[in-house]
Amino acid sequence: MAGLKRRDILLGATGLGAAALAGPLRGVANATPKPDFKLQSQMTSYAFGDRPLTDGLFSTVAGGPPPVIRLKQNVEATLRLENGLKDHTTMHWHGIRLPNEMDGVPYLTQMPVATGKTFDYTFTPPDAGTQWYHPHCATMQQMANGLTGFLIVDEAEDQGFDADIAINLKDFRIGEDGSLRPFFTPRGASRGGTLGNVITANWREASVQEAPSGGLARVRILNSDVTRIHRLALPNLPGRIIAWDGQPVDEDIPWPTREEPLLLGPGQRLDVVFRMPDDEGVDTFIESRISGSYRTIDTIRTVGGSSLKRNIAVVRPLPRNPIAEPVLAEAETREMIFGWSPGGEGSNNGLCGTYGFTFWSIDRNPWPGDAVEGVGPVAVLEQGKSYVLRLRNESPNAHPIHLHGLVFKPIRSDQRRLPANYTDTLLLLKGETVDIALRADNPGNWAFHCHIIEHQKTGLSGYIQVV
Ligand code: C2O
Ligand code: CU
């Protein structure tokens, strides 16, 4: 592959030292014969609670949700995708800064993986944190119907929590008879997206998890839904938000309540620590505002006879990840306009699915879904330089804007105060303009799109090139 060669030469010629190698450039694939993880994409059946069996779901295991995968910071891993689906697929590792050819975007970084074929994704995660995985080909169908899972990168040093709970929020659209209903609707795609009717955590409508009484529980919340923006309210317990979108937070984020919920858009993650109640069998509820009223989306129950008597005050910020700070004084500004542009014809984009509609645009261009033929990058950035991207939402809907391969931080919004925390997915509100800053230190073609998949598939998708 041209990209790989170019980078090899670059590394050899400039003789980068150990500091540079600790960054995202590390972990260029050298064929590992034995994978650390096998992910077998497959169709499966599952009954949601008391409902009739639902066929046609997508997972990487039979009869349930894709499992949590755990990697270790700075330790190389090979994840082997085996495509047991009838359609082509790829896998994307959302939030991981990795070599471009491991990013899993069809036509942009690799060819789609055919039925019965495998693809080895080998990389070394430079950052610890709560990330996730999902296909990037036939994305609508494969993700909407189940294929989303946690990819947790553990800190090099144990952080001393008493429980580690992963909550994957995902809706399904299911009829009375258990059958799947279409997740793409032109009406939804041209507005806020099509919502599911079965709201689950880890594929359960009444999910209950356990944590030791009086212990410190690290709770990781992932919104892997294709549409829903969650409005989260957290229980009234001593607690702290320790990471957002996989990156440690170093400022105090206000505790989300029913009055002031926290907006978590599709693709986003939140890491919270709760100091659990002292008594056994006490339930704590995580809530989301769904069509106007709060509902429990996950329950955490205390277990174990005697309280661990932990103190929330011992919780320190997570260690920072090795991210190159953008230098604002030298940063060039680029503007990007996200617009509503209905009526266009959808273009055919090969093996990864298209819907024949365009409703959205970046810089007035509706970008075709997963394919890039015939369109250039939204922006070309010079490797190593700092940039401010001015994201201007001229549309009447909110969009969780996601960038692959790099992280950025918001520095200014014209509507609200945003934490200056690194992220890969920013929820851009309706009519909002946000300036984000980044250092373009990872070369390649990086997908840049809305994570409401119906928007991504109807124009709100492109890529940024770092050369
Ligand atoms: Cu979560 Cu382009 O992906
Ligand atoms: Cu959108």
Q: Please say if the pLDDT value at position 7 is more than 80.
A: no
Write down the pLDDT at residue 268. 98
Q: Per-residue DSSP letters for 1-31?
A: -HHHHHHHHHHHHHT--HHHHTSTT------
pLDDT confidence of 53, banded at 50, 70, 90? Answer: very high
Residue 459 backbone dihedrals phi, psi, to 5 degrees:
130, -25
Q: How many A from CA of 398 to the centre of ligand 2? A: 6
Residue 458 has pLDDT above 50, yes or no: yes
For residue 345, pLDDT beyond 80: no
Name the 3-class secondary structure at 107: coil
Tens-digit pLDDT profile for residues 211-227: 999 999 999 999 999 99
Mean per-residue pLDDT for 263-290?
98
Long-range contacts of 3-8 (CB under 8 A, 24+ apart): 3/99, 3/100, 3/101, 3/443, 3/444, 4/28, 4/29, 4/99, 4/101, 6/443, 7/99, 7/443
pLDDT band at 31 (very low <50, low <70, confident <90, very high): low
What pLDDT score was predicted for residue 111? 94
pLDDT exceeds 60 at position 367:
yes
Is residue 29 within 8 A of residue 120, CB to CB? The reply is yes
Mean pLDDT of the 277-302 span: 97
Mean pLDDT of 223-247: 97
pLDDT tens for 103-144 read 999 989 999 999 999 999 999 999 999 999 999 999 999 999
pLDDT score at 250:
84
Tabulate helix, strand, coil % of the chain (nearest 5): 10, 40, 50
- 327, two tokens: 């230098």
Cβ neighbourhood burial of 205 (10 Å; 0-12, 13-18, 19+): middle
Reply yes or no on whether the pLDDT at 181 is more than 60: yes
Taking CA atoms only, the protein residue closest to ligand 1 atom 1 is: 94
- How far apart, in Å, do the first and last CA atoms of the chain sit? 16
Query: What pLDDT, on a 0 to 100 scale, did the predictor assign at position 439?
Result: 98
Q: What pLDDT sits at residue 440? A: 98
Residue nearest to ligand 1 atom 2, measured at CA:
447
Task: Report the run of H or E that residue 139 belongs to, with start and end.
Answer: helix 139-144
* pLDDT computed for residue 24 by the predictor: 41
- pLDDT for 22 equals 36
> Which residues have a beta carbon within 5 Å of ligand 2, which is an ion?
399, 450, 452, 455
pTM of the model: 0.92
Mapped onto helix, strand or coil, the DSSP state of residue 328 is: helix
Give the pLDDT mean for 6-24.
31
427 in Cβ contact with 268 (< 8 Å): yes
What's the pLDDT band for 427 if we cut at 50, 70, 90? very high
Per-residue pLDDT at 16 exceeds 60: no
pLDDT above 70: percentage of residues in the chain: 90
404 CA: nearest ligand 1 atom: 2
- Specify the amino acid at residue 364: R
| Range 22-50 average pLDDT | 75
Question: Is 60 exceeded by the pLDDT of residue 154?
Answer: yes
Residues at CB less than 6 angstroms from ligand 1: 92, 94, 134, 136, 267, 402, 404, 447, 449, 451
C-alpha–C-alpha distance, residues 279 and 325, integer Å = 44
Amino acid identity for residue 31 in this structure? A
Dihedral angle over CA of 418, 424, 429, 432, nearest 10: 70
Name the one residue in this structure whose structure tokens are 């809530």.
287
For 90-108, write each residue's pLDDT tens digit. 999 999 999 999 999 998 9
Atom of ligand 1 nearest to the CA of 132: 1
* Ligand nearest, relative to CA of residue 455: 2
Residue 27 has pLDDT above 50, yes or no: no
Atom 3 of ligand 1, residue of closest alpha carbon: 94
Centre of ligand 2 to C-alpha 417, Å, is 21
> Which residue, chain included where needed, has tokens 């069809």?
106
Whether the pLDDT of residue 346 is over 70: the answer is no
Model confidence at 274, pLDDT cuts 50, 70, 90, reads: very high
- Say whether pLDDT at 291 is over 70: yes
Mean pLDDT of 165-177: 97
- Other Cβ atoms within 10 Å of 449 Cβ, number: 30
Contacts of 427 (CB under 8 A, 6+ apart): 229, 263, 264, 265, 268, 398, 399, 400, 401
Q: Using CA of residue 117, residue 76, residue 267, residue 108, what is the dihedral sign?
A: negative
Confidence of residue 33 (pLDDT cuts 50, 70, 90): low
Instruction: Give the pLDDT confidence score for residue 370 in this predicted structure.
Output: 57
Residue 66 scores a pLDDT above 80: yes
